[in-house]
């Protein structure tokens, strides 16, 4: 157990929820940055909520936004974290073509705002940047730490800026700042418009007779899909090393979208060809065809290894959807008190 304090941006996202669980288990006090919304957006971390009046509470939430640098500086000063995990981003590749300017503001410049806030407050904290395999884009696999970058979307370009500004603050100011270059990682908590979750949800609903058809875009794209709950462990390990460095985190395996669809439907004894239809609106103006990560550095230095691969991931996600359907609730929405109450009182 540790008495360390962590600050997580993007705590309400898929990875933020798994990372919070991991750090709380390790004894950390965890502070999360939550965007103000007109509806409650904390469903992925509701199960971690404890009444803030309880002296044993170690999870605290604060309103904030990566587009607001002075707020980030205030929060750092208030929280005095040992570790900062920057997971916040406009993270949807297709959406980044529709909203390139907002994506750049949040995903690229937001990183500079946070790093600059750390530099200005002079905190001796360690910094994790959520970099992405999208930065490799058109460069053929396998991709590793020294593979040339060739991003194919406004999101990929914004992440590449964030990657380099992180390295720049490490080199220029001696900040302990690392890039985790994570390949696709999924879970039952994945956002519903990413392809794996969209497929798991639809296949389960088709099996239950709630819908007939699933519309998808490019089935030929290949991805290196891992399990999010395992990937947050790699994030933490990166910040426990003596020296800051950058690491690829991946399974080293590649499957097509079609493969993932087939595994998901087959798990329900369905033939996907009877239900999946093409809709061009899900195509991207430029596609990333093939991602396969070489994570041997993470294995050698961090001792990190993946266990779950795409076929098992598909089954695991479908099982979670079946379970949620039988309880008539989303898999990420447990019926417990909400930390939104804490925020509502601010
Ligand atoms: P996610 O589920 O989309 O979560 C993104 C988080 O960022 C959410 O908490 C979101 O808040 C928050 N956010 C968005 N804009 C913000 C802003 N302007 N200010 C503050 N917070 C903001 O993403 P994820 O899958 O957990 O991924 C975590 C990070 O890793 C992201 O940076 C993503 O780009 C990167 N990444 C993901 C993968 C992957 O396969 N999952 C792979 C490589 C890298 P709301 O809940 O309010 O929307
Ligand atoms: N979302 C979506 N919806 N994707 C589809 C669909 C569809 O209906 N049909 C086919 N696809 C294809 C996309 O064209 C892409 O090639 C692949 O499925 C995966 O799409 P997403 O699940 O949206 O993920 P992504 O690979 O674009 O981006 C994710 O992984 C990145 C790491 O490589 C996101 O999590 C990014 O934030 C992350 O950085």
Structural domains in the chain plus CATH codes = 5-341 (3.40.50.720)
pLDDT higher than 90, residue 340 = no
Nearest listed ligand to the Cα of residue 103 = 1
∠ at Cα 216 (213, 219), nearest 5°?
A: 125
What are 89-130's pLDDT values in tens digits? 999 999 999 999 999 999 999 999 999 999 999 999 999 999
> What percent of the chain has pLDDT above 90?
92
Cβ atoms of residues 114 and 84 within 8 Å: yes
Cβ atoms of residues 11 and 24 within 8 Å: no
Cβ atoms of residues 324 and 330 within 8 Å: yes
Whether 155 sits among the annotated catalytic residues: the reply is yes
Give 93's contacts (C-beta < 8 A, 6+ positions apart): 134, 153, 155, 156, 284, 288
pLDDT higher than 70, residue 315 = yes
Distance of alpha carbon 134 from alpha carbon 159, whole angstroms: 8
The pLDDT of 233-249, averaged and rounded, is 98
Whether 132 sits among the annotated catalytic residues: the reply is yes
Ligand 1, atom 38, lies closest to the CA of 184
Q: What tokens were used for 227?
A: 């399990």
- Residue 112 Cβ contacting ligand 1 at under 6 Å: no
**What's residue 342's pLDDT?**
42
Nearest listed ligand to the Cα of residue 199 = 2
Strand partners, 63: 34
Q: Which of 15, 69, 111, 129 to mutate to test the pocket of ligand 1 (most atoms within 8 A of CB)?
A: 15
Choose the catalytic residue: 132, 153, 187, 264. Answer: 132
Kindly indicate the confidence band of residue 134, based on its pLDDT and cuts at 50, 70 and 90.
Answer: very high
Give 149's contacts (C-beta < 8 A, 6+ positions apart): 135, 136, 137, 139, 160, 163
Report the chain's mean pLDDT, rounded to a whole number.
94
What are 248-283's pLDDT values in tens digits? 999 999 999 999 999 999 999 999 999 999 999 999
Ligand 2, atom 24, lies closest to the CA of 194
> What percent of the chain has pLDDT above 70?
95
Distance of alpha carbon 13 from alpha carbon 314, whole angstroms: 20
Nearest listed ligand to the Cα of residue 65 = 1
Q: What is the full DSSP assignment across 195-242? A: HHHHHHHHHHHHHTTS-S-EEES-S--EE--EEHHHHHHHHHHHTTSS
29 vs 346, higher pLDDT: 29
Give 42's contacts (C-beta < 8 A, 6+ positions apart): 12, 34, 49, 61, 338, 339, 340, 343
- Residue 166 Cβ contacting ligand 1 at under 6 Å: no
Choose the catalytic residue: 18, 85, 96, 134. Answer: 134
pLDDT higher than 80, residue 343 = no
Give residue 221 CA to ligand 2 midpoint distance, Å: 9
Whether 146 sits among the annotated catalytic residues: the reply is no
Choose the catalytic residue: 155, 163, 231, 247. Answer: 155
Ligand 2, atom 16, lies closest to the CA of 221
Cβ atoms of residues 299 and 247 within 8 Å: no
pLDDT higher than 60, residue 58 = yes
Ligand 1, atom 41, lies closest to the CA of 185
pLDDT higher than 70, residue 331 = no
């Amino acid at each position: 157990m540790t008495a360390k304090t962590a600050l997580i941006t993007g705590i309400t996202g898929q990875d933020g929820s798994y990372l919070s669980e991991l750090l709380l288990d390790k004894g950390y006090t965890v502070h999360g940055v939550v965007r103000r919304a007109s509806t409650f957006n904390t469903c992925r971390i509701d199960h971690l909520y404890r009444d803030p009046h309880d002296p044993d509470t170690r999870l605290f939430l604060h309103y904030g936004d990566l587009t607001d640098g002075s707020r980030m500086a205030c929060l750092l000063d208030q929280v005095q974290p040992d570790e900062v995990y920057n997971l916040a981003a406009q993270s949807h590749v297709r959406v980044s073509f529709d909203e390139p300017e907002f994506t750049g503001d949040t995903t690229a410049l937001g990183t500079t705002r946070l790093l600059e806030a750390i530099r200005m407050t002079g905190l001796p904290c360690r910094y994790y940047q959520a970099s992405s395999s999208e930065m490799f884009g058109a460069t053929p696999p396998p991709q590793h730490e020294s593979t040339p970058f060739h991003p194919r979307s406004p999101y990929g370009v914004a992440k590449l800026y964030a990657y380099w500004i992180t390295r720049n603050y490490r080199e220029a100011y001696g900040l302990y700042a690392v890039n985790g270059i994570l390949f696709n990682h999924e879970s039952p908590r994945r956002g519903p418009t990413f392809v794996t979750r969209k497929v798991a949800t639809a296949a389960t609903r088709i099996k239950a007779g709630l819908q007939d058809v699933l519309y998808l875009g490019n089935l030929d794209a290949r991805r290196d899909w891992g399990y999010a709950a395992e990937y947050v462990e790699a994030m933490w390990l990166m910040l426990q090393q003596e020296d800051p460095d950058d690491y690829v985190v991946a399974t080293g395996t590649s499957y097509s979208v079609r493969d993932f669809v087939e595994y998901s439907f087959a798990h329900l004894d369905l033939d996907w060809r009877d239900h999946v239809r093409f809709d061009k609106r899900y195509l991207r103006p430029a596609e990333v065809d093939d991602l396969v990560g070489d994570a041997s550095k993470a294995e050698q230095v961090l001792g990190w290894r993946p266990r779950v691969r795409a076929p098992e991931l598909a089954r695991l996600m479908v099982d979670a959807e079946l379970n949620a359907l039988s309880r008539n609730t989303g898999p990420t929405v447990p019926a417990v008190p909400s930390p939104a109450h804490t925020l509502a009182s601010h």
